Amino acid sequence: QVQLVESGGGSVQAGGSLRLSCVGSGYIFSTYCMAWFRQAPGKAREKVATISTAGAGSSTYYGDSVKGRFTISRDDAKNMVYLQMNGLKPEDTAMYYCAAANSPVCFLVSRFGSWGQGTQVTVSS
């Protein structure tokens, strides 16, 4: 049973930084595509970033709204995926979710089957 637990959210002023962490368990972490999504109140869920497995070159994807400011990374030895968020803006305020898909290559994933409970990020102006 896949379990994902996020941490690292909080409140920060515009221009600040946060690092989100997600630990996975119950599956072979290194073989899964990992991703971060976010959802703000009244808005659709948005894919923030994805990272493929090391065997697939650890290729990454970023949504246009976060390119150049956010960095996704993974540590397969620790079953962890991270989202480093720099230059935060008020529009980054959302619940952030970690997700996993049983595919080594993220761009082949049409649906993420496993989700964490989320961690809240609030950016004030």
pLDDT in tens, the chain (125 residues): 999 999 999 999 999 999 999 999 999 999 999 999 999 999 999 999 999 999 999 999 999 999 999 999 999 999 999 999 999 999 999 999 999 999 999 998 999 999 999 999 999 99
Percentage of residues in the chain having pLDDT higher than 90: 98
Q: Are 8 and 21 in contact (CB under 8 A)?
A: yes
Chain Cα centroid distance, residue 79:
14
Using CB atoms within 10 Å of the CB of residue 13, give its burial: 0 to 12 exposed, 13 to 18 middle, 19+ buried: exposed
